[in-house]
Amino acid sequence: MRRREGDVLLAPCARCGGTSRGRPEESIVHGRVESSVWMRCDCGAESVACGPGPLTGIAREAYLARVGLARVHADPGVNRAARVRLLAVLRQEGTTIAEAVDAYARLTGEGIAGTPAEVQLLADRLAAAGATVTVAAGTPS
């Protein structure tokens, strides 16, 4: 059973039964967020699990404990002319119109928070649609 200790994941080692330690990571690959967790035990056993999509569960918690939440923000006045295009970007992941409107309100208010990779990917998509956005790095907990 995996558990978290601060920003580290702990799991039983398949080889010796000891404790493997690992740190989850996220990155942007070919326009999407991909995640990975590299685990290593003192006995030398290593494993890597990676795949499409953001981290979830305790892996996400451990990652955020290390890197903190990032935030993307768009000034409503500067981006007014691009509003419809930005709403289209916010709907790309299958959200409803109401959810996209709510996300736009957050984007132009306090900003939308997520992992650094999630926020950077969204910022890149918004910029490609004509937005002027700012990204603020998070503070690890």
| DSSP string for residues in the chain | --EEETTEEEEE-TTTSSEEEEEEEEEEETTEEEEEEEEEETTS-EEEEEEES---HHHHHHHHHHH--EEEEE-TTTTGGGHHHHHHHHHTTS--HHHHHHHHHHHTTT-EEE-HHHHHHHHHHHHHTT--EEEE-----
pLDDT score of 139? 75
Residues 36-52, mean pLDDT to the nearest whole number: 95
Pick one of 3.30.1390, 1.10.3470, 2.20.110, 3.30.230 as the CATH number of 70-136: 3.30.1390
Interval 83-137: pLDDT, tens: 999 999 999 878 999 999 999 999 999 999 999 999 999 999 999 999 999 999 9
pLDDT band of residue 141 (cuts 50, 70, 90) is low
Q: Domain spans of the chain?
A: 3-67, 70-136
